[in-house]
């Protein structure tokens, strides 16, 4: 059973940011981090609407855990 919905955020190839869920087939994008987080919440809500979360292996009302992937800066 999954306690959280896990997602990764990384920079898009050309611009903006991409959010991709680990366990669910949900991917979205946004121009800013705030946009991509808002879009991720909306995409997850639409994807899970009417679904039985326990049948999918999640606890009721699971929180979303987000990791942000950044390029290293070298001096």
Structural domains present in the chain: 5-68 (3.30.160)
* pLDDT tens digits, one per residue of 7-61: 999 999 999 999 999 999 999 999 999 999 999 999 999 999 999 988 888 888 8
Q: What is the 3-state secondary structure (H, E, C) of the chain?
A: CECCEEEEEEECCCCCEEEEECCCCCEEEECCHHHHHHHHHHHHHHHHCCCCCCCCCECCCCCEEEEECCCCCCC
Q: What is the pTM of this model?
A: 0.86
Cα(12)–Cα(35) distance, integer angstroms: 13
Residue 48's CB is within 10 A of a number of other CB atoms, namely 16
């Amino acid at each position: 059973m999954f306690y959280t919905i896990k997602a990764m955020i990384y920079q898009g190839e050309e611009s903006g940011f991409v959010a991709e869920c680990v366990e669910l087939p949900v991917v979205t994008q946004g121009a800013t981090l705030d946009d991509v987080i808002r879009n991720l919440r909306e995409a997850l809500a639409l994807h899970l609407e009417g679904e039985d979360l326990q049948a999918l292996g999640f606890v009721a009302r699971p929180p979303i855990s987000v990791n942000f992937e950044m390029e290293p800066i070298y001096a």
